Structure 1
Amino acid sequence: MSPARTTYDVVVAGGGHNGLVAATYLSRAGLAVLVLERLDHLGGAAVAAPSFPGHAARVSRHAQLASIPASVVADLGLDLDLLPRPEPAYPPLSPPSASYDAWREVWADAVDLAHVVEATVLEPLPLEREVRERLDPGLWRDFVTTPLATTLEQRIDDDLTRGLVGATALAGASFSLAEPSLRGNRSFLHHALGLARGGWRVPRGGMGAVTAALAASASDAGVEVVTGAGVSAVRGSDDAAEVTWHDGEQFHTVATRWVLADVAPWVLRILLGEGDDPETKPEGAQVKVDLLLDRLPDLASGDDPAAAFAGTLRLDSGLDAIEAAAAAAAAGEVPDAPPLEVHCPTLVDRSPLGAHAPDGQHLLSLLVQHVPVSLFTTDVVARQGLVVERALATLDRHLTAPLESCVARDADGQPCIEARLPHDVEAELGMPGGHPFHGDLDWPWAPNRALLDTPARQWGVASDVGSVLVCGAGARRGGGVTGIAGHNAAQAVLAAH
């Protein structure tokens, strides 16, 4: 498909949710905007599709929770309903009472910090010292300058409860929470920011509903969209750029003042002609296992499964177990008991199951952590089977009967279980290494000595080329289905235009 013009004000490379957010803001401001998407559909990780033959259920294939600021929803007029979960993070199963109290106190402090930071995420970047001055020194010490594992060891006596807090920092990458790099702290803050924003919520209709709402808003705003358009090159200077793509039959090139890259920074460098650098390629470390159940399993603890699975339930995630799993992954081994995160979004919204689903039917998602893409360079099928086996064994240890007894069968009589490895995510979405955040998260503020001399730098969306901005998860305040990176890239363009 040929574009309608040869020159645009803005070309957005990638039609994920952030790209659509940015495009809609800019088109509503009167700019001519073209969105180019490699796949035959929009949405990136915010999509849902049938996975089990003979069943109507639509699985949110990658992301499954969203935390889009209410102001962005209102600005774009999105027809979108984000539903709160009854228990955003389900309490530890039968913890010592003192540890449970400490668990609540740590989370309360983390969200207090997050409220201060959250107030800045739709504004130009504050400096580090500006954020620090607004916070209690103890919060800054515990969550920003001290490795997360150390803080948890100091504040919580029970190892299991420590890990249930720390596991929120894994988010698709594999590392030790004791690292002085503080990667775990930055990821933990990202999760807390979502809670401060009103929670990580379930979109009514599944993740595909997020993309549908954004696509409708973009269309209403006059955004031009071309799918099946794999961008192959971006050539830019400080004040202009060209974008080239192939539509399966021929190449096309358009000129533009701005390029917004809704792709990983590692991929953007390739598009800019810098080459493929394996040493800096991100490495995802999460396997998503989706199951269709005929009924919910019963928990051996006696907790109500309808309450436990409606939020985020973490199992076998003691701090010692998390660190042991990280060490096993670093040694090239599938952990014996990988940390496990369990979600059942259909306890909040049953619509993805289809209108005629039996009353007891549910979709269950298992996010298996500390299983980096490097584990699957050989014996892929065998290692995938091993990861699924160990994840199910972890869950079974907390059930009165094996989960297998609850799993539905598809039209061919096979169990309704689907596993998506990091390299599957890379192949499908172009996310290098299958890393859901396009790489390690940054602090959502600028270093004190940062050069903030352009709108792109002020909004945390600059690349090495002046006319090319980052508008996806790799932006400084990217990651997760929030739309914040798209909003901020659009504001940077408008400030400079």
Structure 2
Amino acid sequence: MPAHDARPGHRTYDAVIVGGGHNGLVAAAYLARAGRSVLVLERLGTTGGAAVSTRPFAGVDARLSRYSYLVSLLPDKIVRDLGLSFRVRKRDVSSYTPVERDGRPTGLLVGGGPERTREAFARLTGGDREYEAWQRFYGMTGEVARRVFPTLTEPLPSRDELRRRVADDDAWRMLFEEPVGVAIEERFTDDLVRGVVLTDALIGTFADAHDASLKQNRCFLYHVIGGGTGDWDVPV
């Protein structure tokens, strides 16, 4: 499916994009807009890759996301440049983690508004300390998100250039220089709360919180800087 220059028998292209997922399509669109001849190769019958819904069960009219929430992280600059149009909605609830403590079932709800989340923290931990630490910690990551996310559509910055953007010395140390597990253990005392925070660092990495490679930090940053806010919205 050529994005540009579909002359019959044409077999020479300036660029060949292997995979018609959302990243491949964006790359092809920018190249074609720049006047290059582009060929997109996709093994499936539809484009979109992970950012689509699909009917995975034969005979069942149920459409399920194939990780289509990923498009909520598409930078606004790309949306504007390519004239894209789609709607996303905020999630009311971020997570719920059940647990049994002192012989009774309980859990931690994150979402439903600040007051509801605060009450859930208080019920689980017996006070406001963990919730206040949560607010401070994600206030810090939110500031990092605002400074770092714009670099994803700019020439790759050097380490020194990125360091200058992240003005907070503690944030730079916690997220870029030492394992994120150190910061989480310093700031949170409840083991379940630590686990909820670490989810964004460990999911899919097969690392531990103190891995010297810092690949868990990279995974964590990916989860908390999206859109400059850290929000993962749901496409309609």
- TM-score tier, shorter chain, comes to 0.7 to 0.9
- Structure 2 counterpart SS, 1:140: helix
Q: State the partner residue of 2:55.
A: 50
Matched, 1:186 2:218: yes
- RMSD over aligned CA atoms reads 2.3
The one-letter code matched in structure 1 to 2:182 is T
Which position in structure 2 is the counterpart of 1:176? Answer: 208
Give 1:95's aligned residue: 124
Residues 270-300 of structure 1, C-alpha deviations (whole Å, 9 max, x = no match): xxxxxxxxxxxxxxxxxxxxxxxxxxxxxxx
Q: Would the alpha carbon gap of residues 184 and 83 (structure 1) be closer, same or farther in structure 2, given more than 3 Å must change?
A: same
- Aligned pair in 2 of structure 1 residues 9, 71: CA closer, same or farther (>3 Å)? same
Partner in structure 1 of residue 30 of structure 2: 25
Offset from partner CA, 1:445-466 (integer Å, 9 cap, x none): xxxxxxxxxxxxxxxxxxxxxx
Q: Measure the CA separation in 2 of the matches of 1:141 and 1:11.
A: 41
Shift of 1:87: 4.1
Q: What is the TM-score of this pair, normalised by structure 2?
A: 0.78
Distance 1:200 1:16 in 2: 19
What residue is the counterpart of 1:165 in the other structure?
Answer: 197
Instruction: State yes or no: 1:128 paired with 2:171.
Output: no
Task: Tell me the secondary structure at the aligned position of residue 43 of structure 1.
Answer: coil
| DSSP 3-state at the match of 1:120 | helix
Q: CA contact under 8 A between 1:111 and 1:192: conserved in structure 2?
A: yes
Match for residue 40 of structure 2 among 28, 35, 59: 35
Could you say which residue in structure 2 is the equivalent of 1:6? 11
The structure that is helix-richer by fraction is 2
Which residue in 1 is equivalent to 2:81? 75
Mapping of residues 97-496 of structure 1, within 5 Å: 97-134=128-165, 135-194=167-226, 196-197=228-229, 199-204=231-236
Q: CA deviation at 1:88?
A: 4.5
Give the Cα separation in 1 of the matches to 2:45 and 2:209.
39
Question: How much identity, in percent, do the aligned residues show?
Answer: 42
Offset at residue 164 of structure 1 (A): 1.0
Q: Partners of 1:54 and 1:39 in 2: how far apart?
A: 20
Determine if contact 1:85/1:202 at 8 Å carries over to the other structure.
yes
Contact 1:118 1:196 in 2 (8 A): yes
Task: Write the distance in 2 (CA, Å) between the matches of 1:61 and 1:203.
Answer: 12
d(CA) in 1 for partners of 2:223, 2:59: 36
Q: Extract structure 1 runs of 4+ deviating beyond 4 A.
A: 52-55
Q: C-alpha displacement at 1:56, in angstroms?
A: 2.6
Query: Helix, strand or coil: the match of 2:207?
Result: coil
2:177 corresponds to which letter in structure 1?
Answer: T
The Cα shift of 1:54 comes to 6.1
Displacement of 1:40 in angstroms is 2.3
Asked if structure 2 preserves the Cα contact closer than 8 Å seen for 1:14 and 1:38, the reply is yes
Deviations 1:215-270 (A, max 9, x none): xxxxxxxxxxxxxxxxxxxxxxxxxxxxxxxxxxxxxxxxxxxxxxxxxxxxxxxx
Q: Cα deviation per residue 1:163-182 (whole Å; 9 max; x = unaligned)?
A: 11111112323111111111
Go from structure 1 to structure 2 and tell me whether the alpha carbon gap of 1:139 and 1:159 turns closer, same or farther (over 3 Å shift).
same
What is the match of residue 99 of structure 2? none
- Check conservation: 2:144, 2:171, Cα contact below 8 A: yes
